[in-house]
Each structure stands twice: as C-alpha cells, then as structure tokens.
Structure 1
C-alpha cells in the first residue's frame, strides 16, 4: 500500500472529507476557513455544554416552564443535556480528525454533510442561549458563580490541551510564510500568556486552609424530600427527617372552607401536575385553591403522578413497599405538618400563595398558634402582613428575602436564591451574625462552594445526598494552589519549548535535504555539458 493510501490516511480523510481514494483539489484558503469554523463550533459547544451542566441544579425550573406551556410534564432539561452532549462529542471528534489531517499533511476538505451538521449545531446553541436570555435570565449568574468552583481545574485542563495542540501550531508556523508566521506567533503567545496567567484573577472561597473551613450548612427539605417521595406529602416530609433536616420548607394555600393545606402549584394548571384532579373532576376547571373545599382536596391522589413521571429519575431506588406508600399519598394540611415538626423539633418555613393575603395570613397564623408548636420553630417568610404577624405572634422568627428590608427592620435572617448573592457577601453577612439560607441547592459542587463561603443553611431537593458529605468536594490552601499553578505552567512551557526546538531541527534538516537533492539533481542534469579534466 502506498504512503498516500495507508490505513490511517484513508480513515482520517474518509471520516473528515468522505474522500477515500485520494486527496482533493480544494483551495487552501477555503479549507482553512472551514477548519476555523470547526474549531469555533467545538469551543462554542463545549461552552454550551458547560452552561447546561452547571445549570442542571435548577432543571426543575425549566421542566416547570415547559409544563406550564405544553401542559405535559416531561424532563425537558434532560433532553437538552443529551442533545448538547451528542453535539459536543461530534464537534470534538471532527476537530480531532481535522488535526490528524494536518499532522498527516492532508488537505482539510470538509464534507458538505459535516457543514450542515455544524450549521444545525450553531442554530441549536443560538436557540438555547436566546431561550435562557428570554425565559430564564436568572440563570446567567450561575455561570460566573460556578467558575469559583471549577476555574482552578479548568485552567489546568486548558494548559494541558494547549500543550497537546502546540505541535500542530508549531508545524503550521514552520511551513507558513513570513507574514503568516508573525500572525501565528503573536496569536499563540497571546493565548498562552492569557492561559498561563489567568489564575491571577481566579477567586474561590474554597482556596482556604482546612482550619478556616466554616461549619457545614444545615439542610432544609424543599417540599420534604422530593427525590425520594412525592413533593409536599407526609411521606416526603417523613423521608426528609431521615436526612437530618433542620427545617421543612413548604408552600401553603387555603381551601374554600379556610383550611390551610400544602401545595406549590397555584393559578397555572392548579393541581393538575401533582394530583389526579382531571380524573376526579373532569368537567371542572380549577385555577386557584378557593375553588375546592378541604374535603374535595383530600379526595385527590397526590402520589401516583410521582411514580408515573419519575421527575428525578429516582423511583427505581424505591422498594415496592415505598412505591405503594407513595401511590396512596394525599394532600396534607398545614396542621398535619406542624404536628410532625413539633414531634421532631424541626422548624417550618413556607411561602403563602393567596389572592387575599390579609385573611389568609390571619387564618394561617391562627392554625399555627392552635397547633401548640414552639413559636421559635416558625420561620415566617411571607412579607405581605409581616407587621400584623409580629403583633399577633411575636415569637415567630422573621425571615426576609431582601437584604435592604432586613436591615431596615432590624432582622438577622435572610432567605435568597443561591445565585443572587456573591460568596463574598455571604461571608460578610455571616461575620455580622446574619443567618443566610440559600435556595434551591441540589448539586455537590454548589453545596461545596456555599459551604466554603459560610452559608448557614440551604434548601435542597437532595437532602439524602448532601447529608453524607463530610467536607466540601475540594479545599486548597492559597499557597499550595500557587505552587501547583506555577509547576503546571512551567512544565507545560518546558514541554512546548522542547517540541518547538525538535520541530525546528527537523524542519531545518528537511529543508537542507531538499536543497541537497535539488543540487544533486541539477549537477546530474548538467554534467554532460560541463568540461572535464
């Protein structure tokens, strides 16, 4: 088999260009342009996949928005993750084949089918970014926040990738003409310097010594333990007790006959996601809680949906007995939850969804006081009638969702979304003895980061996973990190310098051999015409 048609060349050429028998005659500028496109789309797909992975913590928000629009509960976020992973894998493989083409001296003639797939990939990413910006803009702060947990390791990985790619850059540099050489050299040096020096700008609360690590945040069960049981049911709250939660987080609404009960969904498709209301009352349409009496609410099944939709892909972990218990869950009243909390000395924090805040607040407070629970176990969050609640039940702990309001009212308990507050701000508030609860925190990396920052507690869907964490996923002293950073950069620089010198010598030797061969050929051709002796 000829050198041009050996197995490696044929496979690389075929997979990249779909040309199995020989090189094409494509113009060099056009092929280089498409190589740039492949590189750019690969980087974009990696960034997009990273965004999907770090926002996976809030996947239920996306699924909920999909439900409100399409009236069907599907794990839409997982669909996006799968498509993004396939797209990224495809682009990275295509880039690797392109680099192999360069190493083998083959032309970069990208097949039209790959061009179409790349176009669809860019379109998918564009729709995804637009969708987040328009429908889910509150997620963008999660990306820079995540870099505090991942940036040190991403930098090490990028340094490694730069080192592996440097031989291809050097090869292009040696074969380029003068102007192109300058452009390649300037671009490579600029990119390398940015990558090597970016740790100067990396800040993370986990870059601390072990003896500086704050206390582990307490866990609040978000609607109980919704990964282990149907949300806002007694089974769910009982499962969260086994996780060691310090508070039950829930949502309260009032029935037509003024009974406070637990249910998150309100107004939009009220009851249709988590109960069998459409089967039980097929001829009625319900939009809010006052449409039904407590007796009618109790007649609904609040657990079967969990087994059918498997919202967290966790049903397979349940025993048959647990599945049967889940299948028979009903909507609980607030009084039932208060009795459970009183029995286990667990706090209760809740949102109050109500079209009539004054009346519903009064009835809710009356139910709490009538239960006999210790008032200090009630973390009062609803802001509408706070002054009235303070007068009626001064023992309740007032929790605020706005720092300015908390300071104005002289409070010391704050409850905010995890990406609405910087880690530095969390640390400052904790130093002032302000209790900071952050919601909703499900992923280990995020919990670890907030632990390092000093969060007092987190509201979580995954209490059964976070309870087993004895320490953050990583902590590292600042001095140790600096030493590792310098060592990695220095090793990469030495490897690249060695590769550059080696390739320079090989290129110089090849040039000299070519010159000698040309000289010998010329001498042989001219020898009949040269005088002898």
Structure 2
C-alpha cells in the first residue's frame, strides 16, 4: 500500500517530465518504464500472499516457550529464582548452560574465561585469585558467590523496576546453582531441560554431565542436548539413548538421522521453515524477544522458541496480526483501482492543450497503466 501511494504521488511528476521531454523516443521510454514499475507494484501482492505466513486463514499452533536461562527479564539469569519464575510462564523447557567446577561437579553458568565475572561477585569475594577459568573454583566456592546483585545494579533488560521489594530481596540472595538443583526442579514440575555444554575438557566433561543426569533419576525423555562435539554425540547416544539431541545444521541432522534443530532465529527463511514442518522436523529458534518476531514465527509454524520474554509471550493468544486472503485480496485490488483512477485523472488533465502527437503518447501511457 505504501508503494502504491508513493507511485500515485510520483505519477504527476512523471507525467510532467513526459510532457517536457522534447524527443518522442524519450517520451515513450519514460512512459514505458514507469508503466512497468506501476504494473509490478500493482501485482506484487500475488507474491506477498505466497511468502507472508500471517496472510493465511490457517494459523499453526502456538510455539512452545523455552526459558532462556530461566526468565532473565524477571530474575538473574541461570539462578534458581530465574527458573522458578519461568515456571509461572508455562514454559515447556528450561534452557541453561552447564560447566564443570574444579572438583568435578556440573554447575549452571553461561560465561566463561574472563567473562565469568559478569554475573557474580567473584572478584570481590576471592580477591587476588585467578578467574581466567571458572573451572578453577570448587562447587562450594561457587555457591558462596552472590549471583544476583549484578542484576539489580546493571538492570540488563530495564525490568528491575517491575519487581516487588520482596522479589528484589530474593534476587540479591541468589547463588550459583548446581545442575542437580535444576534437574530436581525440572523433575518436580515435569518440565524438560535443554542445555549447552560449555565443553572445556572434552569427553571428560561430557561424561560427568551425562552421569550426573542419569544418577538424578529424571526421566531421560525430559532431557535434551543442544550442542555436543560431533565426536562425542555417538557416545552420548549409546550411554543415554533417551536424551533428545538437537543439531545446529540440517546436513548433520539428516546425516545422523536426527529430527530436531536448534538455530538462530534468522538462519532460515519462512519457506525453509515451512518445508521442515512438512518433514516433521522439530525446529527451535533462539533468542526471540520481540512480539512481532514471535508472531511471524508462530504463523510460520515453528515448534518452539527460546526466549527471555516468556512472561510476555505467555499472555499472547494469537499473533499480533493476521489477515486471511479473502480479506487481503479485496484490499489490495481496491487500493490498485483507486490509484489507477487517480492516475487516469491526472493523465486526462495533462492531455488538455497538448498537441496531437502528445495526445497519442499520453493515450499510450494511459492504456498501458
């Protein structure tokens, strides 16, 4: 509609340029070029209908919500408070990051290396210690850290003002959880757990995590792995065949007979996402925080999204906007006809007082349009 309005406004300028052109060839060329552009814009809705998923009478089921490190807009990421807040969002899975402590215990934290200091008070708590690798701290030392003060101080999502005094007090008392703590919560709430293994020591880290999960007693069907080195994926399949494994590219997934993808939200276009849906491939996209993007992916039919905004998306009962073809088609036809009517009026107005040759040219332009 914007393009049609712009062309309609531009048409008067084009008509004037045709009138001012001295050569007949220039008049014809300018008229034809503009006419081709107008026709292309008038007919563009035929392509828009085909490639815009929310222009449909059939909207797929709402994508499932996966809490990205819990509910990090409502609580410090990768803390038990964050995951408990995501339970209230009706998430179907917790997404988290697993690392191994210095004494061989899996714990939850995304950042590694120097960035380990972002979400804890390690620098203050253990002054003079080397924090280049988080694995140098034991679980006891990790759980002695404060993992919530940074959230209140930095307000990463500008949402701290929405928290009650009680919630702020709870946030400031958060610490670094172990993987077992999250497994217990997932089992209690019957919520899946999906994790990235921040693999520092290769196979050993993988074995420790898998063994910890198996010993926890959680239903293996609630466990999914987002990332593993290809050399270790087959080992995990043997030791924990019940785990669901996600792949980060289609070729590896198909090569190994997988059925689940975990990709960045802009990795595939809508046609590719639709095709994967027809092939019964589970597609999870990360990280989706805006309602318009969630709406678009909803219309496309993705299985789930990893999000920081579970509390917002939970309230949505339908995409932000949808329009069926039976509604859209009359709209664009009406807009085209109104534009054509206005252009015709401008052309007839310009014909007044023109020479015979100019009249012929304007008649040609008018007929083409």
TM range (shorter): 0.7 to 0.9
Is there any run of 5+ residues in structure 2 with no aligned partner, and where? Answer: 356-369
SS at match of 2:3: helix
Q: Deviations over 1:138-196 (max 9, x none)?
A: xxxxxxxxxxxxxxxxxx1222233344445545555x342576675455434433322
Q: Deviations over 1:457-502 (max 9, x none)?
A: 1111111111111112233333443332221111112123224434
SS at match of 2:103: coil
Aligned residues of 1:251 and 1:263 also touching (Cα < 8 A): yes
Alignment of 1:50-449 (within 5 A): 156-170=1-15, 174=19, 176-179=20-23, 185-186=31-32, 188-202=34-48, 203-209=51-57, 212-267=58-113, 269-384=114-229, 385-449=232-296
Q: Deviations over 1:266-318 (max 9, x none)?
A: 23x23222222232334334222222121222222211222222221211211
Write the distance in 2 (CA, Å) between the matches of 1:470 and 1:317.
23
Aligned residues of 1:270 and 1:286 also touching (Cα < 8 A): no
Which structure carries more relative contact order (alpha carbon 8 Å, separation 6+)? Answer: 2
What RMSD in Å do the two structures reach over aligned CA positions? Answer: 2.4
Superposition TM-score, scaled by structure 1 size: 0.61
What is the match of residue 482 of structure 1? 329
Write the distance in 1 (CA, Å) between the matches of 2:29 and 2:162.
57
Mean Cα displacement is larger for which, 192-201 or 456-465? Answer: 192-201
Query: What is the aligned length?
Result: 349
Write the distance in 1 (CA, Å) between the matches of 2:352 and 2:85.
68
Mean Cα displacement is larger for which, 346-355 or 327-336? Answer: 327-336
Aligned to 1:469, which of 301, 316, 322?
A: 316
Aligned residues of 2:253 and 2:259 also touching (Cα < 8 A): yes
Change over 3 Å in CA distance of 1:503–1:276 after alignment to 2: farther
Change over 3 Å in CA distance of 1:282–1:183 after alignment to 2: farther
Aligned residues of 2:4 and 2:41 also touching (Cα < 8 A): yes
Aligned residues of 1:303 and 1:326 also touching (Cα < 8 A): yes
Superposition TM-score, scaled by structure 2 size: 0.86
Write the distance in 2 (CA, Å) between the matches of 1:177 and 1:397.
69
Runs of 4+ in 1 over 6 A off after TM superposition: none
Change over 3 Å in CA distance of 1:335–1:481 after alignment to 2: same
Change over 3 Å in CA distance of 1:196–1:395 after alignment to 2: same
Write the distance in 1 (CA, Å) between the matches of 2:39 and 2:31.
12
Change over 3 Å in CA distance of 1:316–1:497 after alignment to 2: farther
Aligned residues of 2:263 and 2:284 also touching (Cα < 8 A): yes
Aligned residues of 2:265 and 2:286 also touching (Cα < 8 A): yes
Change over 3 Å in CA distance of 1:282–1:193 after alignment to 2: farther
Change over 3 Å in CA distance of 1:222–1:186 after alignment to 2: same
Is there any run of 5+ residues in structure 1 with no aligned partner, and where? Answer: 1-155, 509-533
Measured after TM superposition, the shift of residue 368 of structure 1 is 1.0
What is the match of residue 140 of structure 1? none
Measured after TM superposition, the shift of residue 247 of structure 1 is 0.2
SS at match of 1:270: helix
Write the distance in 2 (CA, Å) between the matches of 1:302 and 1:501.
73
If each structure's helix is expressed as a fraction of its own residues, which one has the higher value? 1
Write the distance in 2 (CA, Å) between the matches of 1:332 and 1:280.
17
Measured after TM superposition, the shift of residue 437 of structure 1 is 1.4
Aligned residues of 1:348 and 1:379 also touching (Cα < 8 A): yes
SS at match of 1:450: helix
Write the distance in 2 (CA, Å) between the matches of 1:314 and 1:340.
25
Measured after TM superposition, the shift of residue 213 of structure 1 is 2.1
Measured after TM superposition, the shift of residue 432 of structure 1 is 2.9
Write the distance in 1 (CA, Å) between the matches of 2:325 and 2:212.
52
Larger Rg: 1
Aligned residues of 2:197 and 2:228 also touching (Cα < 8 A): no
